[in-house]
Amino acid sequence: MLMFMQKNAFKASASSSIWVVQQHMEMGFYLFLPDFPSFLFFNHHHITTSTCTKKRSLPQNNGGFLSNNSISIDDALASFYRMLRMNPRPSVVEFGRFLGSIAKKKQYSTVVSLCNQMDLFGVTHNVYSLNILINCLCRLNHVVFAISVLGKMFKLGIQPDAITFNTLINGRCIEGEIKEAVGLFNEMVRRGHQPDVISYSTVINGLCKSGNTSMALQLLRKMEEKGCKPNLVAYTTIIDSLCKDTLVNDAMDLLSEMVDRGIPPDVVTYSTILHGFCSLGHLNEATILFNEMVGRNVMPNTVTFTILVDGLCKEGMVSEARCVFEAMTKKGAEPNAYTYNALMDGYCLNNQMDEAQKVLDIMVDKGCAPVVHSYNILINGYCKRRRLDEAKSLLVEMSEKELTPDTVTYSTLMQGLCQVGRPQEALNLFKEMCSSGLLPDLMTYSTLLDGLCKHGHLDEALKLLKSMQESKIEPDIVLYNILIEGMFIAGKLEVAKELFSKLFADGIQPTIRTYTIMIKGLLKEGLSDEAYELFRKMEDDGFLPNSCSYNVIIQGFLQNQDSSTAIRLIDEMVGKRFSADSSTFQMLLDLESHDEIISRFMRGSSQGRKMK
């Protein structure tokens, strides 16, 4: 088969040859050998493809080699096949440069196939060409094959260099295989190669992305010990990871260290720490750092300003956020969709829906196209304010602007409609969503089921549950809680009990809320003994009652006129440092005048005196 392919390799044109290569790539297999890549199984063939003794000229451009931008990929590949037919052939250096030009065009699969052909026609490789192959394999997410190339290099006596190891380390890190990346780093040192700043920074980045910030910091210190000066990237990577771990003060210490060592922080470094402070609600510290940043002549960009706008809005400081927003353009930073969305969200959180709508209008006037999330913010704001008609009009506006609503859009509207007692409209919206091709998720089903159950539409709720199960979406404990509570509201005690039992059969772990819903429902049905038994069983099952659980069962026993048990539970609750909520306290006050047991408790016990 191989010989047949050799004899026919050049009968077709170069463009048709590469078409075959590309077709095989797209179909998931590769030319020449069934094991990908064939280069890994070297068999040097010395094949003379021409008897011509005059050396053919290579395509001349940019110093004799192919320019990265001047020719098409088909022309480049035609040149490659001409190079293979030359007698004598160009040097491995020229082949390496050729592969590099193809790789720069991001034609990684093509490079792998061309390396296979080089092997087939007996063209030797050097470390440069193999580094290109390794890089292309890594970019194609075939890191295991790239590692095999390294092994073959050792067998052929070709010594890998720092670039070889750095490329492989980066490939391992991208795939999340940090342990293997560290192993390659150690192998690099063992073979006498001094890791450079790229080697260290790559491993540091991998460690940070996998949540190993402390190990990344240790490597930074080791880097310094070995005489390799950390750069801006290494420091900023660890600072970002520290901020994500909410260790912003440690990040500030590292920032100070950078400055002391003469490594000037850039806008990314400062923006990272600003985001850390804003995420924790530390706006004063964020403002101080922002001023320090400007004082060091590091100009904030759109991302920096957006972080501040978002942070201020989340703390309810919308006026201050608006000032920052307006200062952006004066500083040469144009707001983007994220900036406008942050400000809109701030106004929505502050119940200023008209101002939020004005921000959307400004966004459009300034030529910044709103995205689906922009409308979702406003729709959520209107729903929270119970302005459902305005929220629904935004859904229509989205269609007019050819913006496709997502699952969040529909779920938000459905929840809003259910909250104002319009579950049938919510159900119609659900059907519209499904007919548009959007697949509802668990949150969508939970939202709609909650609304249907709370408004007594149990038949629709059960149909929806069946539809959900047919869609292979398994209900979680949140959804079961909704259904159980809905059944109790509708007076369907036995169905609620069956659902509770089904939890354990399906291997779903109940929560304290599940038990509390069951206890409340049983008490509502007058089944005080069953409720008390379940309350004790909850503790035996490892769920310690909380304040809500105690208040629910106490209120239930008071409603069922079992004052003695209620008082015992109050003593127990207070002993566990929980207190009566306003509803429990009001019930005790209402019963005090005509219930002797409660009257004595309120007059005589320390708990009763504390309540008063």
pLDDT tens per residue, range 497-516: 999 998 888 888 999 999 99
Task: Express as a percent the part of the chain with pLDDT over 70.
Answer: 87
Check pLDDT > 50 for residue 58.
Answer: no
Contact 166, 202 (CB under 8 A): yes
Can you tell me whether residue 427 is helix, strand or coil?
helix
Q: What is the pLDDT of residues 397-418, one digit of tens each?
A: 999 999 999 999 999 999 999 9
CA atoms within 13 A on the CB side of 304: 24
- Mean of the pLDDT values across residues 474-488? 89
pLDDT of residue 71: 56
Q: What is the mean pLDDT of the chain?
A: 84
Which residue, 405, 408, 419, is CA-closest to 444? Answer: 408
Q: Of 351-355, 470-474, 475-479, give the lowest mean pLDDT range.
A: 470-474
* Strand ranges (E), 264-412: none
Residue 44 has pLDDT above 50, yes or no: no
d(CA 551, CA 566): 10
Question: Does residue 360 surpass a pLDDT of 90?
Answer: yes
List the chain domain ranges: 1-160, 231-299, 546-612
| Angstrom distance (rounded) from CA 379 to CA 420 | 15
**HEC per residue, 166-184:** HHHHHHHHHCCCHHHHHHH
Per-residue model confidence as pLDDT tens digits over 275-284:
999 999 999 9
d(CA 516, CA 166) in angstroms, rounded, equals 56
Per 3-state DSSP, what percentage of the chain is helix, strand, and coil (rounded to 5)? Answer: 70, 0, 30
The answer to whether the CB of 580 falls within 8 A of the CB of 554 is yes
Confidence of residue 469 (pLDDT cuts 50, 70, 90): confident
pLDDT at 57 over 60: no
Residue 396 has pLDDT above 60, yes or no: yes
Q: What is the pTM of this model?
A: 0.73
Band the pLDDT of 598: cuts 50, 70, 90.
Answer: confident
Quick: pLDDT tens for 5-15.
333 333 333 33
How far is residue 316 from each of residues 272, 274, 311, 349, 376, measured CA to CA in Å?
22, 17, 9, 7, 20
Q: Is 122 helix (H, G, I), strand (E, B) or coil?
A: coil
Give me the pLDDT at residue 78, please. Answer: 82
Among 147-151, 160-164, 599-603, the minimum mean pLDDT is found in: 599-603
pLDDT at 347 over 50: yes
pLDDT at residue 98 above 70?
yes
C-alpha 610 chain-centroid distance: 49
pLDDT above 60 (res 16): no
Cis peptide before 195 (omega within 30 of 0): no
Give the model's pLDDT for residue 90. 86
Using CA atoms, how far apart are residues 180 and 210, in angstroms rounded to an integer? 13
What local confidence, expressed as pLDDT, does residue 605 receive? 59
The Cα–Cα gap between 475 and 443 comes to 10
Residues with Cβ within 8 Å of 380's Cβ and at least 6 positions away in sequence, in order, are 348, 412
Q: What percent of the chain has pLDDT over 90?
A: 53
